[in-house]
Structure 1
Amino acid sequence: MAESHFRPKYISFDVYGTLINFDIDPTTRRLLNGRLPEEQWPAFKKQFRGYRFDEVLGDYKPYEQILQDSFDRVCRRWGIGPTPGAGAEFADAVRGWVAHDDVPAPLKLMGDNYKLVALSNADTSFLDISIPKLGADFHAVLTAEQAQAYKPRYQAFEYMLDTLNAKPEEFLHISSHTRYDMHPMHDMGFRNLWLLDRGYDPITGGYDYNTVESLDEINKHLGL
Structure 2
Amino acid sequence: MDRANNIEAIVFDVLGTMVDEPGSLRTAIRNALPAADDMTIDQLLTVWQNHVANEQQRIHEGTRPYANSDIIDREAAHHVAARSGLTDPDTIEQLATASQRMKPWNDSPTALASLAAHFPVLALTHASRACLLRLNAHAGLRWHQALSAEDAQAYKPAPQVYQLALNAAQCPPQHVLMVAAHAWDLRGAQSHGILTAYIHRPTGNPPSKTDTFNWHTNNLTELTHVLATP
- TM-score w.r.t. length of structure 2: 0.77
1:67 has 2:63 as partner: no
Could you list the runs of 5+ residues in structure 2 that have no partner in the other structure?
A: 60-64
Name the counterpart of 2:26.
Answer: 25
1:120 aligns with 2:120: no
Q: Kindly tell me the number of residue pairs found equivalent between the two proteins.
A: 218
Residue type of the alignment partner of 2:100: R
Q: Which residue of 2 aligns with 1:50?
A: 50
| 1:110 alignment counterpart | 115
Q: 1:207 to 1:132 in 2, by over 3 A?
A: same
Q: 1:39 to 1:94 in 2, by over 3 A?
A: closer
1:172 corresponds to 2:197: no
Using the TM superposition, name which of 170-179 and 66-75 deviates more: 66-75
Counterpart position of 1:10: 9
Mean CA deviation greater in 19-28 or 128-137: 128-137
Say what the alpha-carbon RMSD is for the aligned residues. Answer: 3.1
Q: Is the 8 A contact 1:18 1:175 kept in 2?
A: yes
- 1:200 maps to which residue? 203
- What percent identity do the matched residue pairs reach? 21
Point out the more displaced range, 110-119 or 17-26. 17-26
Of the three residues 97, 105, 112, the one matched with 1:100 is 105
Contact kept in structure 2, 1:173 and 1:194, CA below 8 Å: yes
Gaps of 5+ in 1: none
1:157-205 superposed Cα distances (whole Å, 9 cap, x missing partner): 12222333333212111112233x1232223332x21222112234232
8 A contact 1:12–1:117 mirrored in 2 = yes
Match of 1:183 in 2: 187
1:161·1:167 contact (CA, 8 Å) conserved in 2?
yes
Letter in 2 for 1:115: P
Cα distance in 2 between the residues matched to 1:217 and 1:169:
22
Q: How does 1:69-88 map to 2 (within 5 A)?
A: 69-71=75-77, 88=93
Structure with greater helix percent: 2
